[in-house]
Amino acid sequence: MRALVVGEYAPLDRLEISDAPVPEPGEGEVLIRVAAVGLGFVDGLKVQGKYQTKDPLPFVPGSEIAGVVEAVGPGAGLRTGDRVTANVSRGGLAEYAVAPAAATEVLPDAVSFAVAAAVRVNYLTALFALRHRAEARPGETLLVLGAAGGTGTAAIAVGRLLGLRVLAGASTEDKRQYAVRAGADEAVDTADPGWRAALKERGLDVDVIFDPVGGALGEEAFRALAWRGRHLVIGFASGDIPSARYNIALLKGASLVGVDIAQVQRREPETWQQMNAQIATWLASGELNPAIDDLVDLDDVGEAFRRMAERRAVGKVVVRVADIDATHRK
Ligand SMILES: NC(=O)c1ccc[n+]([C@@H]2O[C@H](COP(=O)([O-])OP(=O)(O)OC[C@H]3O[C@@H](n4cnc5c(N)ncnc54)[C@H](OP(=O)(O)O)[C@@H]3O)[C@@H](O)[C@H]2O)c1
């Protein structure tokens, strides 16, 4: 089968598609014929060996997949031909991937593979962060940093669905316009050093910050919180982990709240199920229309990774591995 096989940690311009054996599903696992894969910022770090954990070489990256069940291991409880979406630790960017049945969900017919792959991590992260960690209430003001990025656009959409007023922080005019088209009420130019003062002048109090960027911007944003504000720590796309000043937390009665979607299924299975059901309901009703940057072919995955690393991506990047949507809808 064709796969993105990483034989050594290398720069993003050295990625190549090569031949690999089709994996076999073991006990409680399914083999999925992959249609689409959602790319995350972390995948790009992993292929370069720059992530905090290292995948053993050689490996196939890609963890957010959607496709059709091709074969079922013992006790897996799914059927061949089921349209599914799954989270895997690695192995997604290939024509076939093995997934634990416990991390695989059957897809409603109305949801395309591309949308399913786009939704898998980012929208669950946004929902967990805003509803379950910040406990955001309708009418509160949310500031999303990196708002035109993958998690950022998810936070805009989920924020709107939860009844929040959404301010979208982004570094370029194009990105700000994209974020407003994605549903934000207003844009904030976070490349302008005076952005926090400008918010203050306009009397805009920020109750919740969704921060996938970190660095100097994250530190500045923490200071923009209103009384009892919550700063959600999502990630560090800037490459720098900020240091929050404890006195700001004291003066504003503010909280710094960590979010790690990777641990929720294991630690809070009920919350995980509730959130998956909520996302499925929003998708089925059409209230949620995930923003996809564009669909790239497997051969162009290197350029897709570079777009994310060079801060050029908008929305979620999804890789089309096989065009099997039409044949697998009832
Ligand atoms: N905690 C969790 O459970 C969880 C779940 C998913 C993802 N994450 C993390 O969230 C972070 C963002 O992921 P994402 O998918 O939203 O990434 P993305 O689509 O690439 O967006 C990241 C945004 O960060 C900003 N940025 C600032 N400095 C940057 C730099 N040096 N390089 C790249 N981007 C930079 C950019 O916005 P501007 O140009 O507008 O500043 C960019 O749009 C990653 O660290 C990822 O690991 C965490």
Q: What is the mean pLDDT of residues 306-319?
A: 92
Residue with the smallest CA separation from ligand 1 atom 29 is 238
Res. 84: pLDDT tops 60:
yes
pLDDT at 244: 85
CA of 249 to the centre of ligand 1 (A): 24
Q: Please name the residues in contact with 72: beta carbons below 8 A apart, sequence gap of 6 or more.
A: 25, 30, 31, 78, 79, 80
Q: What is the mean pLDDT of residues 180-207?
A: 95
Q: Where are the beta strands (DSSP E) in the chain?
A: 2-4, 17-19, 29-38, 64-72, 83-87, 96-100, 104-106, 141-144, 165-170, 186-189, 206-211, 225-233, 255-258, 292-297, 316-320
pLDDT at 22: 97
pLDDT at 324: 77
* Residues 213-270: tens digit of each pLDDT: 999 999 999 999 999 999 999 999 999 999 988 999 999 999 999 999 999 999 999 9
CA of 72 to the centre of ligand 1 (A): 35
pLDDT at 330: 38
| CATH 2.30.110.10 correct for 2-107+291-328 | no
Tell me the C-alpha to C-alpha distance, in Å, between residue 258 and each of 156, 211, 230.
19, 10, 10
pLDDT at 325: 65
Picking from 70-79, 206-215, 290-299, which range would have the lowest pLDDT averaged per residue? 290-299
Q: Where in the chain is the domain with CATH 3.90.180.10?
A: 2-107+291-328
Residue list, ligand 1 pocket, CB within 6 Å = 40-42, 121-122, 125, 146, 148-152, 170-171, 175, 190, 212-213, 234-239, 259-261, 308, 311, 313
Q: Given ligand 1 and candidates 46, 124, 151, which is best to mutate, with the most ligand atoms within 8 Å of its CB?
A: 151
Q: Where in the chain is the domain with CATH 3.40.50.720?
A: 122-262
Res. 323: pLDDT tops 70:
yes
* Pairwise pLDDT comparison (205 vs 67), residue with the higher score: 67
End-to-end Cα, the chain, rounded Å:
27
Looking at the CA of residue 234, tell me the nearest atom of ligand 1: 1
* Residues 96-116: tens digit of each pLDDT: 999 999 989 999 888 899 999
Q: Looking at the domain that runs over 122-262, which CATH code has it been given? A: 3.40.50.720
